[in-house]
Amino acid sequence: MSDKPSVLVLFAHPSVHRSEINAKMLRATRQVEGVTTVDLYHEYPDMRIDVDREQKRLLDHDVLVFMFPVYWYSTPSILKEWQDLVLEHGFAYGEGGTALQGKGFVCAASAGGPQHAYREQGYNHFTIRELFRPLEQTALLTGMRYLPPFMLFGARTAVDEDRLPSHLEGWQQMLRQLVAKEIDWDHDEATHTSNHLVEAAS
């Protein structure tokens, strides 16, 4: 393991001052060694993303993490903007676009709805992994290995129900595993989330 950070966490929350979960996730993430965290709305308050800088960051890390609250079954807009701008033809895909080959990709997200809402019989009709298919396919097209999302469901009540501490602990555990390259990247279609990877440990 090199002493350079190997995991890049892109954090996106447009109203951090109201955040109950993600602000603490960010803080917990910053405590783990070998992880670089970037608060995108902080760095690009006018959404004007510096493409060169972001591409260089990608090259410097082995694992890419999107950390965000789920907005309409997807990422907050700045993460979409980031994808639109940074994952250029000739860099991330297409002719000569091999920069991301072999890196890892995972989303760490919080969703307001409870877990049972995210299934065929639930009111969201699809599992979270199905809803994140565009992200999964982006990873595949750019040659990245993909983990199902690391999720916190029922985020609006997580603090009251005291579920946050164990979630944060699990997330730090997961990050340490990513840094140490001890993560098992092979998952079948039936795996909805990757929380189970660290549940044993906590």
Partner 1 sequence: MTLYFLQAFIYLLAAVIAVPLAKRLGLGSVLGYLIAGVVIGPITGLVGEETMTIQHFAEFGVVMMLFLVGLELQPKMLWEMRNRLIGLGGLQVVLSTALGWGLAQYAGLPWQSALTIGMIFSLSSTAIVLQTFSEKHLGNTDGGRSAFSVLLLQDIAVIPMLAFIPLLALPELISGASQGDHGHDISLVAGLPGWGYALVVITTIGLLIAAGHFFSRPLFRYVASSGLREIFTATALLLVIGIAALMGLVGLSPALGTFLAGVVLANSEFRHELESNIEPFKGLLLGLFFITVGAGVNFGVLWEQLGLVLALTAAVMLGKLVILYLLGWVFKVRGSDRWLFALSLAQAGEFGFVLLGYSQQNQVLSQDLVQMLSLVVALSMFLTPALFILFERVILPRYEQRSNEREADTIDEKGTVIIAGVGRFGQIINRMLTVNGIPTVVLDHEADQVENLRSIRVKSYFGDATRPDMLHTAGIEQAKALVVAIDEREAAVELVHYVKQTYPKVKVLARAYDRGHLYALRSAGADVVIKETLHSALALGSETLVALGNHPFRARQRRLAFEEVEREHDKLLYDSWLQGDEGDRFGTHYRDLFMQLEELLGEAMRGQDSERHSRAERSWTPPPKNYLDHWKKQG
CA distance 38 to 114: 28
- For helices 164-179 and 22-30, what crossing angle results, to 10°? 40
Q: DSSP of 50-94, one letter per residue?
A: -HHHHHHHHHH-SEEEEEEE-BTTB--HHHHHHHHHHS-BTTTBS
Please say which residue, 55 or 110, places its beta carbon nearer to partner 1: 55
Please say which residue, 85 or 117, places its beta carbon nearer to partner 1: 85
165 contributes a contact to partner 1 by CB under 8 A: no
85 contributes a contact to partner 1 by CB under 8 A: yes
**Nearest CA to 76 among 122, 110, 50?**
110
Q: Which range in 93-101, 143-151, 164-172, 184-192 contacts partner 1 by CB under 8 A?
A: 93-101
Options 1, 18, 95, 200; binder of partner 1; rule CB under 8 A: 95
Options 39, 43, 62, 88; binder of partner 1; rule CB under 8 A: 88
Options 46, 120, 160, 162; binder of partner 1; rule CB under 8 A: 46
Residue 110 CB neighbour total at 10 angstroms:
24
Under the rule (CB under 8 A), what is the footprint of partner 1? 46, 48, 51, 84-85, 88-90, 93-95
